[in-house]
A and B are shown apart, each in its own frame.
Chain A
Amino acid sequence: MERSIISEWELHGNIGVLTINNPPQNYLEGFKLAHLPDLKRWTEGDALKGMIIVGKGRHFCAGFNKEDLYKTGDEKVLLEELRKSNEILYHLEALQIPVVAAVTGVCLGGGLELALSWHIRVCSDKALFSFPETGIGIIPGLNGTVRLPGKIGLCRSLEMVLAGNVIHADEAMALGLVDYVVPSKEVLEFSLRLLDRMTTGRSTNIIRSIMKSINNSSKLSFNAATEEETGLFAGLVLARTKVMPENGKSG
């Protein structure tokens, strides 16, 4: 098992499991989850087909530690810290493998922003979600207000962030904030099974093509995304034609 800042990394077959290990609250340390070069090294290579991020102990992540937040003091330093944190989120979001946030217990502020930036959210039936920032006179700072409306809509995003509401697992599911709700003790196992079901028997090339195309749907215009998909499709068809000429002829 390898460690970087508050993250631990281990492989379960072709699935990487990153554990946020800073219990009990699993606060982000200095806004960061891990050093970006470590994350890049862990997630490179063709063997990896999926990734799960989970919290050590009872909770997923309670976000920033208030003391860390205020001790910086200097605007340039604070902006630089946030930029580095965002780079980590962008890296994980852009991975061409499915990334699952496996949420148990409490998922607050920066912790929720992490979970929002990944592809799939599985949570326990007792999980709680909230953006409590307004209660201490600030707003979410890691894309929370940017990503949330795409998941739960403008009105409910305003209510959740402005009022600082606590959302339960069942409500989170109804809102579209999470994708699956499972019993508390089954979150990691369910996530592993889910990724296994998605990726077993699928080549890295197929997984990456699908991830790329699906990611394009929210990043590019419809026409550009369609053009990319056509190119990916043609590339895969031609690759199979070369490997299995008979299949190529029969279409």
Chain B
Amino acid sequence: MPEITQEMRDEVKGIVYNFFADECEVDKESINSETKVIEDLEGDSLMFLELLEIFKKKYNITVGVESIGKYIMKHPAETVGKIVDLILLIIEHGEKISEIG
């Protein structure tokens, strides 16, 4: 289980913010942790799948969409900040994310 460092947090946040700025064609400065992906950025649920694949490749993570789905059912991630937190949890726990209460 990798330890999440501040450097990692900053890197994940940077990648997530850049992704949404690029894909939703908005200024990165206009995004903050409270920005809602669907309402504010006109994004969609499939964008998380795209983001997840970026991080799976980058951190060599093995995790099934079903495991993440189980966690998201209990903890919806609607804002950019919550998505950053979710990615960090996935990096930290991998497949075991579904066991988090």
Contacts and interface: CB of A to CB of B under 8 A. Distances in A.
Contacts of A59: 44, 46
B71 to A, nearest CB: 15
A166 interface: yes
Interface in A125-172: 126, 128, 132, 135, 164, 166, 168
Contacts of B49: 106, 128, 166
A85 B95 CA distance: 36
B65 A25 contact: no
Contacts of B46: 24-25, 58-59, 62, 105-106
Interface in A193-219: none
Interface residues of B, number: 13
Contacts of A25: 44-46
B44 A126 contact: no
Contacts, number: 35
B57 A168 contact: yes
Q: Indicate the size class of the contact surface on chain A.
A: 10 to 19
Interface in A14-60: 23-25, 58-59
Nearest to B50: A128
Interface in B43-75: 43-47, 49-50, 53, 57, 64-66
Contacts of A164: 64-65
Chain A interface mostly: loop
B40 interface: no
A45 to B, nearest CB: 36
Q: Which of A62, A106, A164 is packed against the most chain B CB atoms within 10 Å?
A: A106
Nearest to B46: A106
Contacts of B53: 128, 166, 168
A58 B64 CA distance: 23
Contacts of A62: 46
A52 B43 CA distance: 25
A106 B50 CA distance: 8
Nearest to B47: A58
A168 B50 CA distance: 9
A127 B50 CA distance: 8
9 contacts: A24-B44, A25-B46, A58-B47, A105-B50, A106-B50, A132-B65, A164-B65, A166-B49, A166-B53
